[in-house]
Amino acid sequence: MSISKGPARFSLDGQLALITGSSRGIGLASARALAEQGARVIINGRSAQTVSQAAHTLRQAGLQVIEAPFDAADIHQSIATVDRLIQEHGPIQIFMANAAMQHRESLLSFPQEKFEEVLWLNLTAQWALGRHLASHMVQQQYGRVIVTGSVTGLQGRKDISAYTVAKAGLHALARQWAVELSPHHITVNAVAPGYIATEFNEALQNDEHFNQWLFDRVPQQKWGSPDDIANAVCYLASREASFVTGQTLAVDGGFTIAL
């Protein structure tokens, strides 16, 4: 007697995912991970060349990707591009708001225009595109929204006052949206990376004093990798995570639980 089996656990076969800022770092690792689970993944970044290079790398691995170069800070362009993508490729079931920027400067000299620029891309633009996609997800009565927060949105860190505010806002967004979108079978969660070895913080990786501080502070005594975040994203994007919503998952080697 044969026993019929359902779909494999954590399979994303037949789903379409959009990740902003996915031509490198955490976004690219997450794109690869979702595609390895069977999703078609839309690769995004400001540079068409960088997006093309990232897409080529994933296609060489036999993965299904779609190129979508646009500036996530340009809300009108983002929404117009997403609408075109939906028309051409079908509904988007998974959205990861990952595009980000950083500016490091002491609070007392931090320019207001830089504060507003960091908040615009890291929070406002992600809110606007995410809200637009949520309206489509409500129509299909299914969706997964994942925002890339940060442990600095949970704990303060000198010289990045705009970044910490934006990331804390994304954590709050996940809670608020989860309340509003849960009746439509849409989950909304945040991943809060610890210190991850990417191009985004290459200067810190090369700073001997910072590395000593980090290894003293992180119980696992190491930098995280983009794949560490991607693995968490895969879980939150899956149907198996249907009862997990409004949460901020710190992936940080124990950074936020150690005194």
Say how far apart CA 255 and CA 250 lie, in whole Å.
9
The residue type at 22: S
Sign of CA dihedral 6, 8, 9, 12: negative
Residue 163 is among the residues annotated as catalytic for this protein: yes
Q: Which residues contact 21 (CB under 8 A, 6 or more apart)?
A: 27, 44, 45, 72, 98, 99, 100
Strand-pairing partners, residue 148, are 191
Q: What is the 3-state secondary structure (H, E, C) of 116-184?
A: HHHHHHHHHHHHHHHHHHHHHHHHHCCEEEEEECCHHHCCCCCCCHHHHHHHHHHHHHHHHHHHHHHHH
The stretches of the chain forming alpha helices (DSSP H) are: 25-36, 48-60, 75-89, 112-119, 125-140, 161-181, 202-205, 208-217, 226-237
142, 163, 195, 235: the catalytic one is 163
Active-site residues, by number, are 163
